[in-house]
Structure 1
Amino acid sequence: MDKLAMTDAIVTAKIEQKLSWEKIGTDLGVSPVWLTSACLGMNSASPEIAKKIVDYLALSPEVATALEAYPTKVWDQQVPTDPLIYRLYEVVGVYGETLKEVIQEKFGDGIMSAIDFSMEVDKIEDPKGDRVLLTLNGKFLPYKSW
Protein backbone atom coordinates (compact mmCIF):
# COMPACT_ATOMS: atom_id res chain seq x y z
CA MET A 1 0.00 0.00 0.00
CA ASP A 2 1.38 3.43 -0.92
CA LYS A 3 0.88 6.69 0.96
CA LEU A 4 -1.97 7.79 -1.33
CA ALA A 5 -4.00 4.61 -0.73
CA MET A 6 -3.16 4.84 2.98
CA THR A 7 -4.48 8.41 3.17
CA ASP A 8 -7.64 7.41 1.32
CA ALA A 9 -8.29 4.55 3.77
CA ILE A 10 -7.67 6.73 6.82
CA VAL A 11 -9.77 9.68 5.64
CA THR A 12 -12.61 7.35 4.59
CA ALA A 13 -12.61 5.69 8.04
CA LYS A 14 -12.45 9.09 9.76
CA ILE A 15 -15.48 10.33 7.82
CA GLU A 16 -17.48 7.11 8.24
CA GLN A 17 -16.85 7.16 12.00
CA LYS A 18 -17.66 10.89 12.21
CA LEU A 19 -14.35 11.66 13.90
CA SER A 20 -12.21 14.80 13.97
CA TRP A 21 -8.43 14.97 13.83
CA GLU A 22 -8.61 16.70 17.22
CA LYS A 23 -10.51 13.79 18.80
CA ILE A 24 -8.27 11.12 17.28
CA GLY A 25 -5.13 12.97 18.37
CA THR A 26 -6.42 13.55 21.88
CA ASP A 27 -7.58 9.94 22.26
CA LEU A 28 -4.22 8.61 21.01
CA GLY A 29 -2.13 11.12 22.99
CA VAL A 30 -0.48 12.76 19.97
CA SER A 31 -0.64 16.24 18.46
CA PRO A 32 -3.65 16.50 16.14
CA VAL A 33 -1.53 18.56 13.71
CA TRP A 34 1.23 15.94 13.59
CA LEU A 35 -1.35 13.13 13.35
CA THR A 36 -3.04 14.81 10.41
CA SER A 37 0.27 15.31 8.63
CA ALA A 38 1.23 11.65 9.12
CA CYS A 39 -2.19 10.46 7.96
CA LEU A 40 -1.95 12.68 4.88
CA GLY A 41 1.43 11.10 4.08
CA MET A 42 3.88 13.88 4.95
CA ASN A 43 5.39 12.31 8.10
CA SER A 44 6.12 8.77 9.22
CA ALA A 45 4.79 7.21 12.40
CA SER A 46 6.63 4.93 14.81
CA PRO A 47 5.40 1.32 14.74
CA GLU A 48 3.67 1.89 18.10
CA ILE A 49 1.77 4.97 16.94
CA ALA A 50 0.96 3.42 13.54
CA LYS A 51 -0.60 0.44 15.35
CA LYS A 52 -2.58 2.75 17.64
CA ILE A 53 -3.95 4.63 14.61
CA VAL A 54 -5.02 1.51 12.68
CA ASP A 55 -6.49 -0.12 15.79
CA TYR A 56 -8.40 3.06 16.62
CA LEU A 57 -9.80 3.33 13.09
CA ALA A 58 -10.18 -0.46 12.61
CA LEU A 59 -7.94 -0.50 9.54
CA SER A 60 -5.69 -3.19 8.07
CA PRO A 61 -2.06 -3.81 9.03
CA GLU A 62 -1.07 -2.61 5.53
CA VAL A 63 -2.14 0.89 6.59
CA ALA A 64 0.21 0.69 9.58
CA THR A 65 3.07 -0.35 7.31
CA ALA A 66 2.37 2.64 5.04
CA LEU A 67 2.19 4.97 8.05
CA GLU A 68 5.64 3.77 9.13
CA ALA A 69 7.18 4.29 5.68
CA TYR A 70 9.40 7.33 5.27
CA PRO A 71 7.65 9.88 3.09
CA THR A 72 8.97 11.66 0.05
CA LYS A 73 8.03 15.22 0.87
CA VAL A 74 7.08 16.53 -2.53
CA TRP A 75 4.16 18.84 -3.16
CA ASP A 76 2.72 20.65 -6.14
CA GLN A 77 5.02 23.54 -7.03
CA GLN A 78 2.27 25.62 -8.64
CA VAL A 79 0.54 28.38 -6.70
CA PRO A 80 -2.28 26.62 -4.81
CA THR A 81 -5.84 27.55 -5.66
CA ASP A 82 -7.57 26.28 -2.52
CA PRO A 83 -8.43 29.56 -0.74
CA LEU A 84 -7.13 28.56 2.70
CA ILE A 85 -3.87 27.10 1.38
CA TYR A 86 -3.45 30.05 -1.00
CA ARG A 87 -3.73 32.51 1.91
CA LEU A 88 -0.91 30.72 3.75
CA TYR A 89 1.13 30.84 0.55
CA GLU A 90 0.29 34.56 0.35
CA VAL A 91 1.44 35.10 3.94
CA VAL A 92 4.83 33.60 3.10
CA GLY A 93 4.97 35.59 -0.15
CA VAL A 94 4.18 38.88 1.56
CA TYR A 95 5.94 38.33 4.90
CA GLY A 96 8.60 35.71 4.07
CA GLU A 97 11.43 38.18 3.60
CA THR A 98 10.29 40.08 6.70
CA LEU A 99 10.29 36.90 8.79
CA LYS A 100 13.74 35.98 7.46
CA GLU A 101 15.12 39.43 8.38
CA VAL A 102 13.57 39.45 11.86
CA ILE A 103 14.57 35.86 12.66
CA GLN A 104 18.13 36.40 11.49
CA GLU A 105 18.37 39.71 13.35
CA LYS A 106 17.36 37.95 16.57
CA PHE A 107 19.22 34.65 16.10
CA GLY A 108 21.93 35.19 13.50
CA ASP A 109 22.47 33.62 10.09
CA GLY A 110 20.47 30.39 9.92
CA ILE A 111 17.07 28.82 9.47
CA MET A 112 14.11 27.53 11.45
CA SER A 113 13.99 23.74 11.45
CA ALA A 114 10.95 21.99 10.02
CA ILE A 115 12.31 18.73 11.43
CA ASP A 116 12.79 19.71 15.09
CA PHE A 117 9.42 21.42 14.89
CA SER A 118 5.90 21.52 16.27
CA MET A 119 2.80 23.38 15.20
CA GLU A 120 -0.47 24.18 16.91
CA VAL A 121 -3.75 25.44 15.46
CA ASP A 122 -6.06 27.24 17.87
CA LYS A 123 -9.37 29.03 17.64
CA ILE A 124 -9.73 32.38 19.37
CA GLU A 125 -13.32 33.49 19.72
CA ASP A 126 -13.82 37.15 18.87
CA PRO A 127 -17.09 39.10 18.58
CA LYS A 128 -15.82 40.63 15.32
CA GLY A 129 -15.19 37.14 13.88
CA ASP A 130 -13.31 34.16 15.21
CA ARG A 131 -9.53 34.19 14.74
CA VAL A 132 -7.09 31.45 13.66
CA LEU A 133 -3.91 31.24 15.73
CA LEU A 134 -1.07 29.30 14.11
CA THR A 135 1.97 28.63 16.29
CA LEU A 136 5.05 27.43 14.43
CA ASN A 137 7.78 26.30 16.82
CA GLY A 138 11.04 25.30 15.15
CA LYS A 139 14.56 24.95 16.49
CA PHE A 140 16.97 27.58 15.17
CA LEU A 141 19.74 26.03 13.09
CA PRO A 142 22.70 28.36 12.52
CA TYR A 143 24.69 28.11 9.31
CA LYS A 144 28.21 26.92 10.06
CA SER A 145 31.52 27.92 8.58
CA TRP A 146 34.17 25.29 7.94
Structure 2
Amino acid sequence: MLTKQQAAAAVRDAKAELGITWRQLADTVGRPVAWTTAALLGQHPMGEQEARAAASLLDLEPEVEASLREQPYRGALGHQVPTDPTVYRLHEVLEVYGPTIKELIHEEFGDGIMSAINFRLDVRRESDPQGDRVVLTLNGKFLPYQW
Protein backbone atom coordinates (compact mmCIF):
# COMPACT_ATOMS: atom_id res chain seq x y z
CA MET A 1 0.00 0.00 0.00
CA LEU A 2 1.24 3.45 -0.88
CA THR A 3 1.40 6.12 1.80
CA LYS A 4 -0.82 9.16 1.48
CA GLN A 5 2.30 11.21 0.64
CA GLN A 6 3.29 8.80 -2.14
CA ALA A 7 -0.24 8.87 -3.54
CA ALA A 8 -0.24 12.69 -3.41
CA ALA A 9 3.04 12.74 -5.34
CA ALA A 10 1.53 10.43 -7.99
CA VAL A 11 -1.53 12.71 -8.21
CA ARG A 12 0.65 15.81 -8.64
CA ASP A 13 2.80 14.12 -11.29
CA ALA A 14 -0.21 12.89 -13.30
CA LYS A 15 -1.99 16.23 -12.95
CA ALA A 16 1.03 18.08 -14.33
CA GLU A 17 1.67 15.56 -17.09
CA LEU A 18 -1.95 15.62 -18.27
CA GLY A 19 -2.51 19.36 -17.75
CA ILE A 20 -5.53 18.79 -15.52
CA THR A 21 -6.64 21.45 -13.04
CA TRP A 22 -7.84 20.98 -9.46
CA ARG A 23 -11.19 22.40 -10.62
CA GLN A 24 -11.47 19.69 -13.32
CA LEU A 25 -10.69 17.04 -10.71
CA ALA A 26 -13.32 18.47 -8.35
CA ASP A 27 -15.92 18.50 -11.12
CA THR A 28 -15.07 14.87 -11.96
CA VAL A 29 -15.19 13.79 -8.30
CA GLY A 30 -18.35 15.81 -7.64
CA ARG A 31 -17.05 17.62 -4.55
CA PRO A 32 -15.90 21.21 -3.82
CA VAL A 33 -12.49 22.12 -5.20
CA ALA A 34 -10.92 22.82 -1.79
CA TRP A 35 -12.12 19.48 -0.37
CA THR A 36 -11.04 17.56 -3.47
CA THR A 37 -7.60 19.15 -3.49
CA ALA A 38 -7.11 18.41 0.21
CA ALA A 39 -8.26 14.81 -0.31
CA LEU A 40 -5.93 14.27 -3.26
CA LEU A 41 -3.07 15.74 -1.22
CA GLY A 42 -3.75 13.20 1.53
CA GLN A 43 -5.84 15.11 4.08
CA HIS A 44 -9.25 13.42 3.59
CA PRO A 45 -10.33 9.89 2.71
CA MET A 46 -12.20 9.64 -0.57
CA GLY A 47 -15.17 7.38 -1.09
CA GLU A 48 -14.85 4.51 -3.54
CA GLN A 49 -16.59 6.33 -6.40
CA GLU A 50 -14.67 9.57 -5.74
CA ALA A 51 -11.31 7.78 -5.71
CA ARG A 52 -12.22 5.79 -8.83
CA ALA A 53 -13.27 8.96 -10.70
CA ALA A 54 -10.07 10.81 -9.79
CA ALA A 55 -7.84 7.82 -10.56
CA SER A 56 -9.57 7.32 -13.91
CA LEU A 57 -9.17 10.95 -14.96
CA LEU A 58 -5.51 10.93 -13.90
CA ASP A 59 -4.83 7.42 -15.25
CA LEU A 60 -3.48 6.31 -11.87
CA GLU A 61 -2.54 2.81 -10.73
CA PRO A 62 -4.94 0.84 -8.48
CA GLU A 63 -2.51 1.25 -5.53
CA VAL A 64 -2.90 5.04 -5.73
CA GLU A 65 -6.68 4.73 -5.90
CA ALA A 66 -6.65 2.47 -2.82
CA SER A 67 -4.50 4.95 -0.91
CA LEU A 68 -6.92 7.77 -1.72
CA ARG A 69 -9.61 5.81 0.17
CA GLU A 70 -7.49 5.31 3.30
CA GLN A 71 -8.02 7.30 6.50
CA PRO A 72 -5.33 10.01 6.67
CA TYR A 73 -3.13 11.34 9.42
CA ARG A 74 -4.51 14.86 9.09
CA GLY A 75 -2.15 17.77 9.38
CA ALA A 76 0.89 15.55 8.84
CA LEU A 77 2.96 17.93 6.74
CA GLY A 78 6.29 16.51 7.88
CA HIS A 79 7.67 19.68 9.48
CA GLN A 80 7.08 21.36 12.83
CA VAL A 81 7.18 24.82 11.22
CA PRO A 82 6.28 24.73 7.52
CA THR A 83 9.05 25.70 5.12
CA ASP A 84 6.98 26.20 1.95
CA PRO A 85 6.50 30.01 1.66
CA THR A 86 2.73 29.86 1.09
CA VAL A 87 2.08 27.38 3.90
CA TYR A 88 4.50 29.27 6.16
CA ARG A 89 2.64 32.55 5.55
CA LEU A 90 -0.62 30.90 6.59
CA HIS A 91 1.17 29.61 9.67
CA GLU A 92 2.44 33.15 10.27
CA VAL A 93 -1.09 34.57 9.87
CA LEU A 94 -2.31 32.21 12.60
CA GLU A 95 0.66 33.05 14.82
CA VAL A 96 -0.10 36.78 14.49
CA TYR A 97 -3.89 36.74 14.29
CA GLY A 98 -4.78 33.46 16.01
CA PRO A 99 -5.26 35.02 19.46
CA THR A 100 -7.35 37.80 17.90
CA ILE A 101 -9.53 35.31 16.04
CA LYS A 102 -9.96 33.34 19.26
CA GLU A 103 -10.99 36.45 21.22
CA LEU A 104 -13.46 37.53 18.54
CA ILE A 105 -15.02 34.06 18.33
CA HIS A 106 -15.43 33.98 22.11
CA GLU A 107 -16.88 37.49 22.20
CA GLU A 108 -19.36 36.78 19.39
CA PHE A 109 -20.29 33.14 20.13
CA GLY A 110 -19.21 32.35 23.68
CA ASP A 111 -16.84 29.69 24.98
CA GLY A 112 -16.14 27.29 22.13
CA ILE A 113 -14.23 26.64 18.94
CA MET A 114 -14.59 26.72 15.17
CA SER A 115 -14.84 23.20 13.83
CA ALA A 116 -12.26 21.97 11.34
CA ILE A 117 -14.39 18.86 10.79
CA ASN A 118 -17.64 20.60 9.82
CA PHE A 119 -15.73 23.06 7.69
CA ARG A 120 -15.75 24.77 4.30
CA LEU A 121 -12.90 26.56 2.57
CA ASP A 122 -12.99 28.90 -0.40
CA VAL A 123 -10.06 30.52 -2.21
CA ARG A 124 -10.66 33.27 -4.73
CA ARG A 125 -8.91 36.15 -6.46
CA GLU A 126 -9.96 39.76 -5.90
CA SER A 127 -8.78 42.42 -8.33
CA ASP A 128 -7.02 45.38 -6.76
CA PRO A 129 -5.24 48.31 -8.45
CA GLN A 130 -2.22 47.72 -6.19
CA GLY A 131 -2.03 44.01 -7.07
CA ASP A 132 -4.51 41.17 -6.99
CA ARG A 133 -5.46 39.89 -3.54
CA VAL A 134 -6.01 36.37 -2.24
CA VAL A 135 -9.32 35.98 -0.39
CA LEU A 136 -9.56 32.99 1.93
CA THR A 137 -12.87 32.11 3.52
CA LEU A 138 -12.67 29.75 6.49
CA ASN A 139 -16.19 28.64 7.33
CA GLY A 140 -16.44 26.32 10.33
CA LYS A 141 -19.36 25.37 12.51
CA PHE A 142 -19.24 26.83 16.03
CA LEU A 143 -18.89 24.14 18.67
CA PRO A 144 -19.54 25.31 22.23
CA TYR A 145 -17.52 23.75 25.01
CA GLN A 146 -19.73 21.57 27.16
CA TRP A 147 -18.53 21.21 30.70
Give the TM-score taking structure 1 as reference length.
Answer: 0.92
Question: What SS does structure 2 have at the residue aligned with 1:111?
Answer: strand
The answer to which of 54-63 and 12-21 deviates more is: 54-63
For residues 22-101 of structure 1, the aligned pairs below 5 Å read: 22-73=23-74, 74-101=76-103
- Equivalents in 2 of 1:70, 1:110: separation in Å? 27
Q: CA RMSD in A?
A: 1.3
Q: Does 1:127 align with 2:119?
A: no
- Equivalents in 1 of 2:12, 2:135: separation in Å? 25
- Equivalents in 1 of 2:55, 2:28: separation in Å? 13
Partner of 2:3: 2
1:75 is displaced (CA, Å) by 3.0
When residues 5 and 82 of structure 1 are mapped into structure 2, their CA distance, relative to the original with a 3 A threshold, is closer
Question: What SS does structure 1 have at the residue aligned with 2:46?
Answer: coil
Q: Does 1:142 align with 2:144?
A: yes
1:77 is displaced (CA, Å) by 4.8
Aligned residues: 145
Question: What SS does structure 2 have at the residue aligned with 1:87?
Answer: helix
- Equivalents in 2 of 1:24, 1:114: separation in Å? 23
When residues 77 and 144 of structure 1 are mapped into structure 2, their CA distance, relative to the original with a 3 A threshold, is farther
Question: What SS does structure 2 have at the residue aligned with 1:144?
Answer: coil
Partner of 2:107: 105
The answer to which of 20-29 and 62-71 deviates more is: 20-29
1:6-61 CA-partner distances (Å, limit 9, x unpaired)? 11211111000012212221343321111111111111111111111111111122
- Equivalents in 2 of 1:82, 1:10: separation in Å? 19
Large movers: runs of 4+ above 4 Å? none
- Equivalents in 2 of 1:126, 1:61: separation in Å? 45
1:118 is displaced (CA, Å) by 0.9
Structure 2, unaligned runs of 5 or more: none
Partner amino acid, structure 1, of 2:55: V
1:71 is displaced (CA, Å) by 0.4
